Amino acid sequence: MRSTVQDAVYKNLIMRRRPWPLIFFIVLCVSGCIRIVPGQAGSGEKIKILVLSALSSVNIRSSDRGSLEIKKEDGLIKVNGNEKALPLRLLPMGDFIYINNKPFRGSIEISDSKNGLMVVNELNLESYLVGIINNEISSRWPRDVIKSQAVVARTYAVYNKKKRAKSLYHVEGSTMGQVYSGAGKEDPVAQKAVRETKGEILAFSGEAALTVYHSNAGGMTDSSRDVWSRDYPYLKAVKSPYDENCPQFFWDMTLHADDLRGSLRKNGFEIGKPETLDVRETSGAGRAKIIVIQDNEGGSVKISGEDLRKALGYNELKSTIFEVSKAGDLFVFKGKGSGHGVGLSQWGAKGMAEDGYSYREILKHYYPGTDLVKMY
């Protein structure tokens, strides 16, 4: 016999006499309705991750019991062809819920925005961390660098959860936050590293620190003040000598003047065809802080190094440690490192671990002044 809550859930799954497959609970605001996902109880707090956005459609399924196709058409939301109001909050009846065929733990919420559908995954913080490891580094790396990654990722999530407490989500699942694509990248090594550091975060003055990190510092990190004009006492420039062990430590990029102009204009910088690109100011580690680009019409724009990376694409202009030359209409960038250069360098941490440093020593090196504390 179904309970009153189960009857309410079942009723919400019926539309115009056409039942949906009973693969989900639609979560109602009724005490006791939310089901605990197996393997996640007692492992810390919850976190909300924006896993997909700007979608016209998304497919949701649970195990092998059917699926829901959610579409936005002409401003209307349809679920399996029937109009439905958003947001929808869904829980799997098995261990996972599948979003476009990728497994995720916990619940999901689908909402609408001016750019399209948004999918937010809410799950246990420790489970989320296990899914991060093999997206950010590799579980084949030394044990102490994996533990370092677990701690900084946990701290970053806790910091942003407090900062974005009233938002639809706390962290993005892309390179704009921490790369997370569900449970598909979990493995026993990642699980062990998260378990061995359970609840540990880096704190400064009694609060979770902003533990930003990047792939490769190019030999030296920078202060947050030099890169973003925001000063955090523990985000200072430190040497990162093991970075050179990265197989793509040095890089180059060639860019046509017309493409440079197009990228700048798309990002709000009005300029003619660029003629020169000069780095006018650098940080202590040699990163471009202020760049002046002059065009063939006598105009110019001033832009920060990070804004230039954003305009050209973070995967194209890998860092702001570079020199520029020009051959005809081509700008040739030659640089080193990868990422913004603030906080922990993942390749630098790998080298430290290989040389015998513990995860505690790695964290103390890249976030000076912080304390490693156990949150739960």
Residues contacting 232, CB < 8 A, separation 6+: 204, 209, 210, 224
76 and 212 inside one domain: no
pLDDT band at 43 (very low <50, low <70, confident <90, very high): low
Please tell me the predicted confidence (pLDDT) of residue 367. Answer: 98
Which residues form the domain of 353? 199-247+338-376
pLDDT higher for 32 or 350?
350
275 and 236 inside one domain: no
18 and 37 inside one domain: yes
Q: Is residue 144 in some structural domain?
A: no
Tens digit of pLDDT for each residue in 153-180? 999 999 999 999 999 999 999 999 999 9
Structure token digits, residue 63: 């195990």
Using DSSP, state whether 92 is helix, strand or coil: strand
Contact at 8 Å (CB) between 144 and 357?
Answer: yes
Q: Is the pLDDT of residue 116 over 50?
A: yes
Whole-number Å distance between alpha carbons of 258 and 373: 51
Question: Given 99, 125, 151, which residue is the final one in a domain?
Answer: 125
31 and 67 inside one domain: yes
90 and 44 inside one domain: yes
Please tell me the predicted confidence (pLDDT) of residue 22. Answer: 36
Whole-number Å distance between alpha carbons of 7 and 222: 58
Q: Is residue 158 in some structural domain?
A: no
Q: Is residue 16 in some structural domain?
A: yes
Q: Is residue 277 in some structural domain?
A: yes
Whole-number Å distance between alpha carbons of 65 and 22: 7
Question: Given 91, 125, 159, which residue is the final one in a domain?
Answer: 125
Contact at 8 Å (CB) between 156 and 49?
Answer: no
What is the average pLDDT score of the chain?
88
The one-letter amino acid at 189: V
Tens digit of pLDDT for each residue in 327-363? 999 999 999 999 999 999 999 999 999 999 999 999 9
Q: Is the pLDDT of residue 20 over 60?
A: no
Q: Is residue 115 in some structural domain?
A: yes
> How many domains does one find in the chain?
3
76 and 8 inside one domain: yes
Indicate the pTM of the whole model. Answer: 0.86
The one-letter amino acid at 366: Y
Whole-number Å distance between alpha carbons of 241 and 218: 8
Share of the chain above pLDDT 70, in %: 88
Question: Given 97, 125, 153, which residue is the final one in a domain?
Answer: 125
Whole-number Å distance between alpha carbons of 207 and 194: 21
Q: What's the 3-state SS for 165-215?
A: CCCCCCEECCCCCCCCCCHHHCCHHHHHHHHHCCCEEEEECCEECCCCEEC
